[in-house]
Structure 1
Amino acid sequence: MKSFTVFSLLRIVLFPILYALSFVYRGIFWLDQKLTRKKKLHGAFVISVGNLSMGGTGKTPFSIYLAKLIHREFPEKKIILLSRGYGSTGSQNGLRVDLQSAPGEAGDEPLLLKKHLPFAEVWIGKDRYSSYIRLKKELKIQENPIVILDDGFQHHRLERDLDLVLLDSSQIHKERFLIPAGNLREPFSALSRTDWIVFSKYDPSIERVVQNLQNKFQKGILRFSFEPEKLLSPDLKADSPKLLYGKKIYAFTGIGNPELFFSMIRSFHPLKLETRTFRDHHSYTMEDETGFDMISTNFDYLVCTEKDLVKISKPPENLKILLLESKLDREDKLVSSLKSKLSGQVSI
């Protein structure tokens, strides 16, 4: 609590400087956007899944949901996901992700994408255009694929056929300033470039905000929400989340915005709940894992997310993963939009 207070005070004292620097950031961003020469992924229908803020908006679960939806509706189409591969060692020269890829090499989120989407190709690389060319050549892909750009809204180098931007419903009232004064990569006016606005972690309490943005930008609106589905042990044994009721729980995670995860655990009324937040994309060390083993003796269960589990080599016996069920309203409207755009696509 003390370090948090010092950090908060420091931000308040430095805010005028940070606010001034945010205009510098905005100018550099604008120049990059205008001067970057865009390239087309020939033969591909490109969908960008992005956001306006720094991390934690639910892009990975939404990309998984979207890819499964496309696979169901267009089973003949090859699906490729191109990711920057944040925090991975394989992103420098490009890497094809498979189920045997190491988390440190592939990155936690690309590995989760591949785990949930075995029918799709997942490739990481700083240069996504080169990744696509290399992937098509190595795998001898002849058909016209559907490419999903993970975190692609600010990726100015590539043309896209459809833009979807996620807004974190739990944080939308707090996000006012650009980096470094705040958490926004772009101002809300950037929503004029998107095709669909997706309210992630949707809660009915923000419906007025939803309607205001819809009226302002005249864009398609989607509401993407999560519900606790089940608890999963590392050995894949499944239990109801109700198992947490009246138990002593230690919850930890390294995701962008952990409060929703913790609040879901609180909803099952554990007898005791202790939480710990690691930075986003945290790579768990042997020291961390030793600490978890010691902590596990004082709690009934340790609970984390799938994104955490892929980076833990030896999970404690009483570790549980809280799996979430994703729900999307107006799914039929998104499918209709995809069919309409795909029918008008010119094969190259």
Structure 2
Amino acid sequence: MAYLRLLLLPFSMLYGLIVWIRNRCYDWGWAKSTVFSKPVIVVGNLAVGGTGKSPMTEYLVKLLNGKYEVATLSRGYGRKTRGFLTVPIDGTVEQCGDEPLQFKRKFPHVTVAVDENRVRGIRLLFQSGHEAVILDDAYQHRALRPGFAILLFDYRSVSQRKWLLPAGNYRDSFRERRRADMVVITKTPPAATEGEKQWIRRSLDLPLHIPVLFSSIHYSPLVSLQPDKHANEAMLTKKHTILLVTGIANPIPLYDYLQEQVQEIVHIRYPDHYRYTLATVRTITTRFDEIRNSSKLVITTEKDAQRLLTPALSGSLADLPVYLVPIRAQFGEQDERILQQLILGYCATASGVDSV
């Protein structure tokens, strides 16, 4: 694999040149970036997937909801529709994408919208009376200049090579980190020391005005996908064997967490945003039946649950005890205070007339 990455380096250099030219066009004003007067917060990353954008977006929704008429906006990756769409509570992955549907089901009273054209989507949301918009995964969308940009790095990725695609995992240059208003290191292990955090801050080499905060994953009790057929919640013990089904970019933190709770894990790992089919469900059923331990459950993620709960599949899963693991971003007291002061302070002062 290492040799293959080396062979791909020339393509990464070409890709890097294209990315550099594109970014400079926006920096130098050759390409237009739209600025909105009302609060527009972007959550994003430089690498490909798996940095915890969804939990961070949900954290911001909880922080701002009730203080502002807030909405979330994303591209709606994997949906089969086009244009602007407000996500309905009974929507489907095909209509909206898995992450927007997850947001809507967790926050039914919050407007969740999708639009591949973020500028158009924001404009429509503000025209309909919304006071603040949170954009999931839009750090590279340079046609928009956000009022506040939060850049995420996975804790384990900070020390890794910052190579661009296809040799590496970065879709944008590491130098673009300096466009952020705040950097959050996600999935920080509970045992991380202050010395390790200081090393990360130094390695990022950011200006003093860009704070570097640390968040970890908080795992909530298991919730049934079909509470009308199975117990709504379940507790794990060292007697359990679980069949873990994931179609996300980085399931390793979840696997490590569950490994501490149970006797054995059988893991079926699919690619990020994997579209489940009846054949997939049959595979899950077969692997579950092969587990001899009578204390067994199927566990999946919140994002996977949106794709497994489609009408075409939910009936086939009815006999299986399938549970999801709700997660949320969790900050230490000092970092949380800094984050909330900056976000609420920005939203309170954002005002004026839209401009381009």
Counterpart mapping for 1:1-348 below 5 A: 8=1, 12-36=2-26, 37-40=31-34, 42-71=36-65, 75-90=66-81, 92-137=82-127, 140-141=128-129, 145-203=131-189, 204=192, 206-213=196-203, 216-218=206-208, 219-236=210-227, 237-239=231-233, 241=235, 243-270=236-263, 272-299=264-291, 300-312=296-308, 313-314=313-314, 315=317, 316-329=319-332, 330-348=335-353
Distance 1:68 1:59 in 2: 14
Give how far 1:196 is off: 0.8
**1:26-65, Cα deviation, whole Å (9 max, x unpaired):** 1111222233533435442111100110001110111001
Number of residue equivalences:
328
> Contact 2:73/2:135 (CA < 8 Å) preserved in 1?
yes
- Determine the C-alpha separation between the residues in 2 that align with 1:309 and 1:160: 31
Q: How high is the TM-score relative to the length of structure 1?
A: 0.87
Superposed CA RMSD in Å reads 2.1
1:170 partner SS: helix
Q: CA deviation at 1:101?
A: 0.9
CA pair 23-297 structure 1, distance change in 2 beyond 3 A? same
* Residues in 1 aligned to 2:217 and 2:241: alpha-carbon distance in whole angstroms: 24
1:225-245 Cα shifts (integer Å, max 9, x gaps): 11322111123444454x242
Work out whether residues 230 and 238 of structure 1, in 8 Å CA contact, stay in contact via their aligned partners in 2.
Answer: no
**Would the aligned equivalents of 2:298 and 2:320 in 1 still touch at CA under 8 Å?**
no
Structure 1 residues 151-160 or 178-187, which shifts more?
Answer: 178-187
Determine which structure has greater relative contact order: mean sequence separation of CA pairs < 8 Å that are 6+ residues apart, divided by chain length.
Answer: 2
Which of 283-292 and 173-182 deviates more? 173-182
Structure 2, unpaired ranges of 5+: none
Deviation, 1:99, is 1.1
- Overall identity of the aligned pairs, in %: 25
* Structure 2 SS opposite 1:156: coil
- The aligned amino acid for 1:328 is F
Could you say if the C-alpha distance between residues 209 and 52 of structure 1 is closer, same or farther in structure 2, counting changes exceeding 3 Å?
farther
**Is contact 1:244-1:265 (8 Å) kept?**
no
Deviation for aligned residue 1:278: 0.3
Output the amino acid matched with 1:23. Answer: M
Letter in 2 for 1:266: Q
TM-score of the aligned structures, taking structure 2 as reference length: 0.85
Question: Is the 2:38–2:350 contact (alpha carbons within 8 Å) kept by the matching residues of 1?
Answer: no
Corresponding letter in the other structure for 1:335: Q
Moved beyond 6 Å, runs of 4+: none
Question: Within 2, Cα distance between the matches of 1:207 and 1:42?
Answer: 34
Q: CA deviation at 1:214?
A: 6.3
Amino acid at match of 2:303: K
Q: Matched residue of 1:81: which SS?
A: strand
Residues 27 and 116 of structure 1: is their aligned pair in 2 closer, same or farther, counting only changes over 3 Å? same
* Cα 1:70–1:287 shift into 2, 3 Å: same
Paired amino acid for 1:69: L
Q: Say if 2:78 and 2:273, in contact at 8 Å, map to a contact too.
A: yes
1:3 matched residue in structure 2 = none
Q: Which amino acid aligns with 1:281?
A: H
Check the 8 A contact 1:41/1:132 in 2, yes or no.
no
